[in-house]
A and B are shown apart, each in its own frame.
Chain A
């Protein structure tokens, strides 16, 4: 028993001098952080969607326009929105699974991200 304790102590001392590949966090703080980040992402997603709906339209070629002219801000917002909509829920579930907060692992393959032009119809609805 003494021998085992000495080995454990030595291993602890040796490992304490190294940069760990893992992070140990307070569970409550981490889960609250994760939930807050999720709420933030969802709120931003809804806000981007509403603002795009107010301002951004597609032309006949599926390019984003604002007030009749090609618009980079609308194009970037559309790209961010399709990525968030397609992937955030999956990444979030993976975060929770890897942290041991949930038991069920999400599907191994992350959902495909559609082309931003897939939003054209939604943003054109009046």
Chain B
């Protein structure tokens, strides 16, 4: 069952013709969604989108609506939208993703070390038992 999505609703009704009022409403909806998004990278990106709406109006956001919805609700970060955000933002996004992957990798390695230690102890116990 699909849940009600404030961005989709706002973007569906927003249009460049709505001007400042539409931009404000859409920026507010994006801000609310960012606060409720349990995803640090998603929050950063939604912050960029919110800024873009305030600066350029809702037109650009309507164009990348599907991408925003994927970002806000999906389990994964979709590749950059078209048109992409500025290179600085892209770099920040990528840095956050790379750090998250590196953290996971370090965690995985630590877990493997723990498992290796545990297995080593078990093997040592078996070998000791055999020698006796």
B87 touches A110 (CB 8 A): no
Chain B residues whose C-beta falls within 8 Å of the C-beta of A95 in the assembled complex: 98
**A97→B103 CA distance, assembly (Å):** 11
B107: Cβ under 8 A from any A Cβ: no
Chain B residue at minimal CB-CB distance from A87 = B91
**Interface contact tally, CB-CB below 8 A:** 34
A residues with CB within 8 A of B: 21, 79-80, 83, 87, 90-91, 94-95, 97-98, 105, 108, 110, 113
B76 touches A98 (CB 8 A): no
Distance between A125 CB and nearest chain B CB, rounded to angstroms: 25
B88 touches A94 (CB 8 A): no
Task: Give chain B's interface secondary structure class.
Answer: helix
B102: Cβ under 8 A from any A Cβ: yes
Q: Known contacts being A21-B76, A87-B95, A90-B95, is A97 close to B102, with CB within 8 Å?
A: yes
A98 touches B91 (CB 8 A): no
Chain B residue at minimal CB-CB distance from A91 = B94
Chain A residues whose C-beta falls within 8 Å of the C-beta of B88 in the assembled complex: 79, 83, 113
B105 touches A91 (CB 8 A): no
Chain B residue at minimal CB-CB distance from A76 = B87
B99: Cβ under 8 A from any A Cβ: yes
A80 touches B105 (CB 8 A): no
**A95→B76 CA distance, assembly (Å):** 18
Which of A21, A105, A108, A113 contacts B91 (CB under 8 A)? A113
